[in-house]
């Protein structure tokens, strides 16, 4: 991949001007058991979505599930090369669901069309480390701009393959991966699930392999850049760039700017059809005391939507690092331009640490779904010319700060979405309660 090679070269040149990193993590290893970590997360999730313009279809979805996730990470054996293992286990329990209200993506669906009463699975990986470079193989949870498993439902997804993480140079983090299958941790227990696309609504495309390479570099405490490249076999090549700049104005005020850009082109057999898409977003934020005000603009330059990872044709992954990818919509339709206004309030400044609020409004227009490849998987999914929509999101979150319930969190998210004929009018509420426990 030419651009991936260019990304690696650029990062290497940057690294060459930087001092070598701090002490080797492997030299400081205490041992396989001595550095082990074990945590358990209890997560209760209620998902309600009401469709307002779905005649003859499912009008609303309403389910509640409880999940228990155990995560074990061993330390590394001592020596020049250290070895270790990671393992995780999940148990999901249905608390509320009906045959006409399921389909939220919280739980797998059985052969009878109903959400399963309970489900469980486990996964793990082996790992090796030299200095500050780790190699992992097995059931992993990558999280980067071009290949990130989903975390928006009960359990995170996972992918089967290799991953290399390296931080040999101070401020420079490099990553590479090769993955062959995926598991949607909430909608399926199948570890050999297909690597699919979020906006291929028919679930037709299956990328047999995914490769990626990239990294981030902090040029200073306030300025960092990121470059990644990936290839979904016979589907696309996708490249990502980011620049993040923070300007402290005083002890209580700051300006920040965040720029993201993706370039996607079809590759090989072009299983998704012709793709020639450049999508970018720019967000500017002003913080003063407890308040933060953000404005963002996002633009899709291409006759296809900006698309990204989906897990076995079910829930989407998280590899969309764009400002206007929000609770329901991604504002990534063909030729779409969108604006966002957001307000965040941190109540710690008013004597209530752990309590925060957020409100945002996003509007998108100029959507044109008439010029896509008629033989591609996106054809017919985005209506006609000059489509538009908007979304309003409200969120309240509280995290217990001390005592026996420390880190217990309560989160309520509400979304309202309205659109012309290409998308749904809906109201949505999510209530998420999480209680993490550190055992080791």
Q: Which entry of 234, 344, 365, 427 is annotated as an active-site residue?
A: 234
Q: With 60 as the cut, is the pLDDT of residue 172 above it? A: yes
Q: How far apart are CA 383 and CA 398, in angstroms?
A: 40
Q: With 80 as the cut, is the pLDDT of residue 115 above it? A: yes
Q: Which entry of 66, 178, 291, 297 is annotated as an active-site residue?
A: 178
Residue 221's contacts (CB-CB under 8 Å, 6 or more residues apart) are none
Where do the domains of the chain lie?
34-438
In CATH terms, the superfamily for domain 34-438 is Porin (2.40.160.10)
Q: State yes or no: is 29 an active-site residue.
A: no
pLDDT band at 100, cuts 50/70/90?
A: confident
pLDDT band at 35, cuts 50/70/90?
A: very high
pLDDT band at 55, cuts 50/70/90?
A: low
Q: How far apart are CA 392 and CA 403, in angstroms?
A: 35
pLDDT band at 14, cuts 50/70/90?
A: very low
Helix residue spans in 263-323 (DSSP H): none
Q: With 70 as the cut, is the pLDDT of residue 147 above it? A: yes
Measuring CA to CA, how many Å separate 171 from each of 14, 19, 165, 178, 217? 10, 10, 13, 24, 5
pLDDT at residue 13, rounded to an integer: 42
Q: How far apart are CA 260 and CA 263, in angstroms?
A: 10
Q: Which entry of 319, 325, 338, 356 is annotated as an active-site residue?
A: 319
Q: State yes or no: is 319 an active-site residue.
A: yes
């Amino acid at each position: 991949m030419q651009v991936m090679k260019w990304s690696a070269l650029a990062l290497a040149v940057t690294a060459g001007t930087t001092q070598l990193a701090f002490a080797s993590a492997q030299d400081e290893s205490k041992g396989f058991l001595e550095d082990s970590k074990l945590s358990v997360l209890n997560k209760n999730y209620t998902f309600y979505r009401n469709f307002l313009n779905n005649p003859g279809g499912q009008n609303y979805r309403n389910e509640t599930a409880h999940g228990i996730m155990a995560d074990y990470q061993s330390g590394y054996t001592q020596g020049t090369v250290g070895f270790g293992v990671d393992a995780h286990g999940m148990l999901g329990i249905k608390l509320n669901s009906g045959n006409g209200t399921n389909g939220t993506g919280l739980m797998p669906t059985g052969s009878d069309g109903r959400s399963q009463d309970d489900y469980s699975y486990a996964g793990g990986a082996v790992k090796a480390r030299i200095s500050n470079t780790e190699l992992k193989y097995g059931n992993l949870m990558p999280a980067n701009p071009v290949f990130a498993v989903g975390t928006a439902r009960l359990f995170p997804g996972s992918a089967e393959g290799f991953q290399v993480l390296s931080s040999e140079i101070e401020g420079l983090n490099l990553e590479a991966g090769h993955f062959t299958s995926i598991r949607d941790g909430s909608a399926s227990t199948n570890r050999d699930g297909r690597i699919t696309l979020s906006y291929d609504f028919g679930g037709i495309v299956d990328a047999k392999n995914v490769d990626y390479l990239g990294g981030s570099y902090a040029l200073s405490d306030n300025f960092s850049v990121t470059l990644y490249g990936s290839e979904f076999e016979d589907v696309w090549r996708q490249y990502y760039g980011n620049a993040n700049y923070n300007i402290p104005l005083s002890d209580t005020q700051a300006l920040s700017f965040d720029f993201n850009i993706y370039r996607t082109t079809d590759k090989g057999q072009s299983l998704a059809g012709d793709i020639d898409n450049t999508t970018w977003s720019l967000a500017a934020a002003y913080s003063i005391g407890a308040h933060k005000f953000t404005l963002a603009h996002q633009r899709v330059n291409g006759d296809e939507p900006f698309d990204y990872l989906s897990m076995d044709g079910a829930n989407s992954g998280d590899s969309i690092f764009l400002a206007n990818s929000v609770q329901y919509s991604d504002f990534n339709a063909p030729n779409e331009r969108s604006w966002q206004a957001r307000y965040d309030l941190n109540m710690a400044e008013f004597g209530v640490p752990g309590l925060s609020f957020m409100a945002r409004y996003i509007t998108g227009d100029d959507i044109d779904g008439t010029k896509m490849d008629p033989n591609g998987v996106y054809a017919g999914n985005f209506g006609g010319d000059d489509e538009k929509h908007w979304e309003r999101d409200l969120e309240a979150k509280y995290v217990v700060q001390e005592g026996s319930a420390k880190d217990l969190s309560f989160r309520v998210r509400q979304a309202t979405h309205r659109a012309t004929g290409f998308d749904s009018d809906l109201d949505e509420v999510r209530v998420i309660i999480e209680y993490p426990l550190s055992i080791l």
